[in-house]
Structure 1
Amino acid sequence: MSGSIKPIVIQAGSRGYEVCRVEDDEWATLTDSLAIEEPLEIRIVQTIDGTKCESPISVTMRTPGDDTELALGFLLSEGLIRSASDIEGVRLCSKGSIVRVYLPAHCRIDTERLRRHFYTSSSCGVCGKTSIDAVTVHIQQPLEALPQAISPELIHSLPDKLRATQRLFDSTGGLHASGLFSTSGELICLREDVGRHNALDKLIGSQSYADDSRFSESILVVSGRVSFELVQKALVAGIPVLVAVGAPSSLAIDLAERHQMTLIGFVRNQRFNIYCGQDRIRRRR
């Protein structure tokens, strides 16, 4: 076996590599399945005054799959469009590296407000933005009350339910997940990606195509920590409860509290922390 790592198997969302594993001084050759990370460019296409205009909006490093949902979710969660009805169509190029979103001429995109550098890493969608003002998108509506309070038992069950449906994580161990659940604990939708913000954009894009009215009565569960951007995207979608396996950042807590979101972290070993929005959680009598 040579010293280089060679891709030898390709499947949806993951790629097999021939590697050398060392364990207790024993060397063995085996195939390790890893998450694919590749760039996707999102472009806006409009015909204005008879002229076709195509503008690049962002490049994000993502796991291929659900790319049109990712593009739609990105535009929605960044506040660039208000709903899926704002778009005329979405097309993925034949090579799978560019998504073109077609908008009517009257739908104006304020790209200066977005202020992204042209590259966004998979680990953080905020890193490329030039100022904190640029990442604070307009939250269009207040969060609604849930149809019923959530029990602690339900919250404890959600990470395991999320993990049980992570198809690509089982084979790669290197993907984030965002799952949307009903207040009775039923999984509505799940998306995975190497970037936690991409996984959420895919989820938002998928449900915006289907039925975005469910956001206001749902629980968002994420597999890792909670950044400012995840809270922001959930707020733009109108999701009132965010549950995380990991820790939130201070800025994420500040934003969630400002908009009266219920933010829960460190859900593990039969305990969790409620950082804000306690009124949506049912107390044991």
Structure 2
Amino acid sequence: MPLVAPVTVHKISGETLTEVPDLLAVEEPLEIRLGFGPITDRQQRSVSVTMRTPGHDEELAIGFLFSESIVQKPTDIISCRHCVQDSQKEGNVLRVELHPDVVMDWSRLERNTFTSSSCGLCGKTTIDAVMALTPGPLSADFSIEPAVLHALPERVRQTQRAFAYTGGIHAAALFDVDGKLLLVREDIGRHNALDKLIGAAFWQNWLPLSQFGVFLSGRIGVELVQKSWRAGVPMLAAVGAPSSLAVQMAKEAQMTLAGFVRDNRFNLYSEPDRVIIGQVMAFKA
């Protein structure tokens, strides 16, 4: 499936109308199904339907399953492939076959999947649920110069093929202490872009990502902190703002959270010591 789709738009400038071709980010549903159980009693169940931009679907599914603690290591997965149910769903159903030894806890999945920003969970309940899935607060020896963060927005933008055409797609990027980009994934959904990134790292046995940071092209919601914490990411940076619960969770995780990373500036909301600052100015009332 393509990442972009052609469309004709009517552009208005002042009182003048011009008809021109344009490109939009493709949005299609992806159903993730699991095959699980002992060899003598294999079962199948749908666990998620997400709206995504096609591409790296396997990484998206694997990243989601890892974030929700369904899989812990690559050997938990036997196969991951698209399946065709009918002509309407071609390419939009992905089946992940789990190793027979993987035990499913459906109640945990239902408790900890955040379906929207208004899912009704209170802050403390949300954080307690996530902490139960993590090894605890992050203690990675990871620190960077401010210049590394300053350079990330443009560096990531240059790698975004789909964004260059559409202006309507998010990116998640994995970077090291020198600002080198190791992975970049794009999707119309912020959560999907991060799941794709984590899924790619998971499949390459890079987890936990204790020596890397993640850069996001949008705002930081609590779900993105959750996924990053689960993957062991010590620093999460983004072009946009974090939510209050995202900051609260980052503090519990001892994760460095940087927002508004653009125009040669950024804000630090937690664990600021991982950014090496040469000069500190006191606040004046």
Instruction: Tell me whether the two structures share a fold, i.e. TM-score over 0.5.
Output: yes
Deviates more, 1:20-29 or 1:124-133: 124-133
2:137·2:252 contact (CA, 8 Å) conserved in 1? Answer: no
Which amino acid is 2:167 matched to? G
Matches within 5 A, 1:158-237: 158-213=152-207, 215-237=209-231
Deviations 1:19-51 (A, max 9, x none): 222212211211110001110000110243612
The RMSD of aligned alpha carbons is: 2.2
Deviations 1:185-204 (A, max 9, x none): 10000001010000000000
Inter-partner Cα distance in structure 2 for 1:80 and 1:161: 33
Letter aligned with residue 108 of structure 1:
V
**Aligned residue number for residue 261 of structure 2:** 267
1:102 and 2:97 matched: yes
Can you give the 5+ residue segments of structure 2 that lack an aligned partner in the other structure?
A: 85-89, 280-285
Question: What residue is the counterpart of 1:89 in the other structure?
Answer: 79
Matched residues in 1 for 2:136 and 2:101: separation? 23
**Match of 1:105, as an amino acid?**
P
For 1:232-258, what per-residue CA distance to the aligned partner results, in whole angstroms no more than 9, with x for missing partners? Answer: 000000010001111000000000000
Q: Percent of aligned positions with the same letter in both sequences?
A: 43
SS of residue matched to 1:207:
helix
Pairing 1:105-120 to 2, within 5 Å after superposition: 105-115=100-110
CA distance in 2, matches of 1:40, 1:127: 20
Q: Deviations over 1:156-186 (max 9, x none)?
A: 1111111111110000100011000011110
Contact 1:70 1:202 in 2 (8 A): yes
- 1:70 alignment partner AA: L
Partner Cα distance (1:127, 1:278) in 2: 26
Is residue 57–residue 111 contact of structure 1 (8 Å, CA) maintained in 2?
no
Distance 1:85 1:197, change over 3 A: same
Work out which of the residue numbers 138, 146, 149 in structure 1 matches 2:141: 146
SS of 1:69's equivalent in the other structure is: helix
Indicate if the aligned counterparts of 2:216 and 2:237 stay in contact, CA closer than 8 A. Answer: yes
- Offset of 1:127 from its aligned partner? 4.8
Please state whether the residue corresponding to 2:209 is helix, strand or coil. Answer: helix
- Among candidates 271, 277, 284, match of residue 283 of structure 1: 277
